[in-house]
Amino acid sequence: MTGWLTGKTARVEGKSPAIINAVTTQGATLVADGECDIWIHVAQPPLIKPAHELTHIEWRVSLDAGLDRCFLGAREFADQCRARGKGGAILFTAAPEQAMGADHAAAAGALGNLTKTLGVEWARDGIRVNSILTLEMGDSLGNLAAYLVSDYAAYVTGAVMGVGLDD
């Protein structure tokens, strides 16, 4: 089945060729800025450092990249959706909590809770919020991402999913 996202516009913040490929293959048009139907944030993994070696600045940089940027971008997207009276789909992707060190664990754990909270809070506005926590960067990630931002997942919000976490 193809064309899940035909007629939709999407903005992908961060790098994920698999997600970009899947979203465009399913018919979405990528936009660099401005209004869109779908906003996807791909958190880039931080450098792995033992917790006792992290400086406060490194801790804050990791939380900013893995949590703050997600919230601020989602809030901006949701404001745009409300202003035009139309819902939308938000997807966060990041590595799982246990994969990258204490700073990333804090950001990823909080991102899971943020996803659940925003998913409930913004559902009344027709804005869905979901997350994928994974180290997978291939087709499985891309296909799940395309599904979660499509109308086929219209009743899925506040979900935190993993891909390939058993490997």
Over residues 152-163, mean pLDDT: 92
Per-residue pLDDT tens digits for 49-67: 888 898 999 889 888 988 9
Please determine, for residue 163, whether its predicted confidence score (pLDDT) is greater than 90. Answer: no
> Which of these, 122, 62, 51, lies nearest to 86 by C-alpha position?
122
pLDDT score recorded for residue 44: 79
CB contact at 8 A, 58 and 103: yes
Per-residue pLDDT tens digits for 63-104: 898 899 999 999 999 999 999 999 999 999 987 766 677 888
- What does the domain layout of the chain look like in residue ranges? 9-163
Q: Which residue has the higher pLDDT, 49 or 142?
A: 142
Domain 9-163, CATH among 3.40.50.720, 3.40.640.10, 3.10.20.740, 3.30.365.10: 3.40.50.720
